[in-house]
Amino acid sequence: MAMQLRLIKAFSASLFLLCMANNVCGQDTKLTKMWEVSLSGIDKVATNSRGEIFVTNNQGYLFQYNASGSSVNQLATSLSAPVTNLDAYNTVNIFLFSAALQRFEFLDRFLNPISSLSINEAIASGWVSQACPGNNNSLWVYDESDLNLNKYNLTTNELVQAQALNTLIQQNDLKVVLLKERNNLLFLQIAEDGLYIFDNQANFIEKIPLDTHNRSVIEGDFVYVIQEGQLIKINYLTKESKSIAIPKESNFEKLGLSSQQILLANEKVLVVYKRPKDL
């Protein structure tokens, strides 16, 4: 029975990817480059609803640009280490987490520090490999010490939700590349596996297969991800998808989106394109 279930899951994932590959539109769409900036060691890219762009490098520096490409600000964060998660979705503040330092911090939109705490100061937890902010001053973490997805109230430091991932995902070593709360849903992406969707009580809803280690972007009802030289858009409610080709010679792996722009980056350069209306 276990073998049959594994075969059914594998077939379902393959069927989904086949349908996604066959549901491609916009192949003739050419992206229009607006501007680019060269930076050493580009690591994470994010945007907010104002169209402001945030970039971290592998030393923990944070760079801020406006939509025209002008440098607005630069900060040597207190993390001084690679940033595991950068989330600028909330225009009031910016969240950064470093797994290497087991530390997270909040900045205001001008990059002024609001708070900086170690994981052990904030919550009673083991080794956290991913973390993201949640609603009502909460923090979601993936704790590798017990393989749990946990939600903590940062006001009381209490554990309010928990989900044992090892009962859901049959892998010994989970590489969680994305953890985001959006629209009262929690999105957890496992490299070379897929995007797992939970409700805000940590109850599993469904999985979107993604055969890539590239971090996806969540926007409304859609998941965007770079995979095999394509920028793919998936409606996680209807499973309908679109894709457009992106420049392959630059080996873009990092993605950001605003209402008007598409951000593509590798470790050396960030290139900003005009966003097509159908994407």
pLDDT number for residue 9? 43
Question: 225-241: per-residue pLDDT in tens?
Answer: 999 999 999 999 999 99
| The two structure tokens encoding residue 138 | 């909460």
Q: Percentage of the chain surpassing pLDDT 70?
A: 90
pLDDT number for residue 22? 45
pLDDT number for residue 18? 45
Residue 11 has pLDDT above 50, yes or no: no
Query: In this structure, are residues 194 and 212 in contact, taking their beta carbons and an 8 Å threshold?
Result: no
Of the listed ranges 5-14, 155-164, 181-190, 257-266, the one predicted with least confidence? 5-14
Question: 29-84: per-residue pLDDT in tens?
Answer: 789 999 999 999 999 999 999 999 999 999 999 999 999 999 999 998 878 889 99
Residue 15 has pLDDT above 60, yes or no: no
Question: 170-188: per-residue pLDDT in tens?
Answer: 877 889 999 999 999 999 9
Query: In this structure, are residues 212 and 174 in contact, taking their beta carbons and an 8 Å threshold?
Result: no
SS3 per-residue string spanning 199-236 = ECCCCEEEEEECCCCCCCEEECCEEEEEECCEEEEEEC
Once rounded to an integer, what is the mean pLDDT over residues 176-203? 96
Q: Give pTM, 2 decimals.
A: 0.88
**What's the mean per-residue pLDDT of the chain?**
89
Question: 142-157: per-residue pLDDT in tens?
Answer: 999 889 999 999 999 9
CA distance 60 to 215: 18
Length of the chain: 279
C-alpha atoms less than 13 angstroms from C-alpha of 217 in its C-beta half-sphere: 26
Question: 243-261: per-residue pLDDT in tens?
Answer: 999 998 889 999 999 999 9
pLDDT number for residue 28? 56
